[in-house]
A = this chain, B = another copy of it.
Amino acid sequence: MKALVYNGVRDVSVKEVPDAKIEKPTDVLVEITTTNICGSDLHMYEGRTDVEKGKILGHENLGVVVEAGPAVYRVKVGDRVCLPFNISCGFCENCEKGLTGFCLTTNPGSAGAAYGYAGMGPYSGGQAEYLRVPFADFNCLVLPPDAEEKENDYIMLSDIFPTGYHATELAGVKPGDTVAIYGAGPVGLLAAYSAIIKGASKVMVVDTHKDRLALAEKIGAIAIDDVGGNGVEKIMELTHGHGADCGCECVGYQCCNKHGHEVPNLTMNNLVKAVRPTGGIGVVGVFMPQDPKAADELAKKGRMAFNFGEYFTKGLRIGSGQANVKAYNRQLSKLIASGKAKPSFIVSHELPLSEAADGYANFDARKDGWTKVVLKP
């Protein structure tokens, strides 16, 4: 089959590889119809991880079941399914609590597995014609009949819509709250969208890319251009000096200042300033436990010069970590089905799988208007 393969730093290509196939009785095989390039794929693309050469990438996947193992009970051949990026067993101590992003079974010795990702287990990704899905009865979200026509909406349930939503859950967003979001990439925009769905009274999105800020405004958020570095003051003004009730970090360790230098503590320390005393902050932007290629000495060891004193004095709460997609994808799918949510608004480019390498290059360059790339194998 054809699949997008990692060859080395900033080098990916679509190649012929051995077919994906059923390996265990609880697996299904899915013919991929839509698969996205994720911002976190760029961490691998840019050589900031130890991902092995030859890995098939892609953890945002949707398709049709074409074969089911003999112990698959619920999912049927022909079902259109969206796959959470986290691969989970359904029966370990974390999965039984709904913490499927921290499954103790699927990536032994660690907590949490994913398709096609560095350090997340031996699973191939779905930027390919076919994908093997383990523990299929647990992992597959079977989509409703309208799925084919709304495929660019439902695909967002694999990762970024639940991840954006997770940010708002970790931050504790409630109806009426004011919310400050750092980052207007796909995850930040869907965090803003989630906050709006939840009934926030004011959603403020901070970034420096005008095309992304325009999308934030389009969905009813307030765009704050931080190019001059005064995003915090604007949030304070918009909240009558109180600070936002909640904050979301949707950027991660590769946050850059206006000179293009990585400043890993920029967003977190700004959020500590911009959120009101006793408020909550949700962190879904990725931070690494070590990052040998970082410029910053602390960052190499996975550390951050964090304003802990201010954080404590204000009595803030911070929740973090990758989303447990299954905790949200079913509820969010009901919003898509009823027409109340349309997360495909972030899609800027739809490409055939054969042009995936170009998609990586342009997305990585943050070319103007390249917000989100959807691949159609």
Contact = CB atoms under 8 A, between A and B. Distances in A.
A309 B303 contact: yes
Most buried by B among A101, A105, A177, A308: A308
A54 interface: no
A172 to B, nearest CB: 11
A139 to B, nearest CB: 9
Nearest to A299: B309
Given A70-B71, A298-B305, A321 B312 contact: yes
B94 A277 contact: yes
A283 B303 contact: no
A265 B105 CA distance: 32
Interface stretch (A148-156, A287-295, A359-367): A287-295
B202 A175 contact: no
Contacts of A24: 71
Given A304-B306, A309-B253, A101 B201 contact: no
Contact of A91 (B94, B137, B302, B338): B137
A302 B307 contact: yes
Contacts of A313: 287-289, 321
Nearest to A200: B340
Interface residues of A, number: 83
19 contacts: A98-B98, A175-B331, A177-B331, A197-B199, A199-B199, A201-B335, A201-B337, A202-B334, A253-B309, A287-B309, A287-B311, A302-B308, A302-B310, A303-B306, A303-B307, A304-B308, A304-B309, A312-B321, A316-B321
A249 to B, nearest CB: 9
Q: Is the interface of A mostly helix, strand, loop or mixed?
A: loop
Interface in A263-300: 264-265, 268, 277-278, 283, 286-291, 298
A99 interface: yes
A236 to B, nearest CB: 14
A322 interface: yes
A331 B176 contact: yes
Contact of A26 (B73, B277, B314): B73
A318 interface: yes
